[in-house]
Amino acid sequence: MPKFKIKNVLVEEGASAHPLTSKILDALPDVPVVPAMEIDPISGTERLNRDKQTLYLFSYKGEFLKPCPGTKEYICCGYQILNVGTNCPLDCSYCILQSYFNQPFIRVFVNLREKLDAILQTIDCNPDIIFRIGTGEFTDSLAIDSITRWSDILLPEFSERKNVVLELKTKTAEIKGLLNSRYRDRIIVSWSLNSPFIAHREEHRASGLEARLEAARQCQSEGFTLGFHFDPLIIHTKWKEEYMRTIDLMDRYIDPKGIIWISLGALRFMPELKAIIRSRHPGTRVLDGEFIRGLDGKMRYFKPLRMELYSFMKENLKKWYQDTCLYLCMESDDVWQKSMGWSPRLSSGLCSYLDTRVVKIFG
């Protein structure tokens, strides 16, 4: 059984016809299953807490592969998001998914297998384009993999194509499905990391830092390429010492030569999320800093503070391993220049930089 407790499964009309629905229900033999139309409406915190223990199985009618929703005001990496589901059993205080009240429950798109062929055809018809694809934007890639078996569906298809990499992002240690797979090539397993203080206090239900890094060590020893994401970097008491503790833990567990990239991104959020965070996580410290509205409408730290965060992380990650590939998530040209010492200048430049890294690591 999975680590995360599922108490209910809702099945939308029409979802029962998909093989993935049967596999998920077989993995949860003792969990009540009800038609989606019969769920009782509730609201507020009570509903959100229940949402994280309820799977909602339905056939998704939208696009399964979409570009990362960047904005023209900031440099974007050109990532492609593979939509396998939305929402998450974890409960990080800063999570943007808390504001998606019109998208309740842990939603699983049971028609993934049927829609995957069109995505693979697009990839195959564009052999000169490198597709960097990930599943961890709107859900955790591995938290419920023991139920959904997303890894069984995706790894065989993406591992055998030479113009694509698939990145699975997680804050968990749920790697059994990956280790049982025989596919390794062109698969990146990435962990979101933070300081020990933030991980313990703000990343509720996530695995501890050492558990994440031990899982990463196991994946690396089994031949997987690793990625890491310090996003969001959060200013808090003794943040420099705290983030150094994380880098020291990385040194203890990980061979840096096996890391394809590490991203850095400072805390940012839409203004309406602030009240939700305060209501659901009254003890949070993530909102203690001073914020201004950025060019994309999100609340951000003042630019000098963001540059201090990035400069500190860059200096110490490069001390750990000089050839570490670092990049900033959704930042401006001047922040790149002043904190990283160079800039891709445009989103196309960052895309080229990361594509080159893919070629270097995977050929």
Tens of pLDDT, residues 52-95: 889 999 999 999 999 987 788 899 999 999 999 999 999 999 99
Across residues 318-343, what is the average pLDDT?
Answer: 97
Instruction: Say if residue 41's pLDDT is above 80.
Output: no
User: What is the distance between the alpha carbons of residues 187 and 194, in angstroms, rounded to a whole number?
Assistant: 23
CA dihedral sign, ordered 46, 49, 54, 60: positive
What is the pLDDT, as a whole number, of residue 220?
98
Question: What's the mean per-residue pLDDT of the chain?
Answer: 93
At the second CATH level, the architecture of 66-83+111-362 is: Alpha-Beta Horseshoe (3.80)
Q: How confident is residue 2, by pLDDT bands cut at 50, 70 and 90? A: very low
The residue assigned the tokens 């270097």 is 360
Q: What pLDDT is stored for residue 301 in this prediction? A: 98
Is 38 a residue whose pLDDT tops 70?
Answer: no
Shortest CA distance to 223 belongs to which of 188, 256, 252, 253? 188
CA pair distance 292, 209, nearest whole angstrom: 30
Query: What's the predicted TM-score (pTM) here?
Result: 0.95
Note the pLDDT of residue 136. 87
pLDDT of 35: 79
* 166-196 pLDDT, tens digit each: 999 999 999 999 999 999 999 999 999 999 9
What is the structure's pLDDT at 42?
47
Cis-peptide, bond into residue 232, ω within 30° of zero: yes
In percent, how much of the chain has pLDDT > 70? 94
How far, in Å, are 130, 177, 334 from residue 76 at the CA level? 16, 31, 14
Tell me the pLDDT band of 219, cut-offs 50, 70 and 90: very high
> Is residue 330 very low, low, confident or very high in pLDDT (cuts 50, 70, 90)?
very high
Separation between Cα atoms, residue 332 and residue 339, nearest integer Å: 11
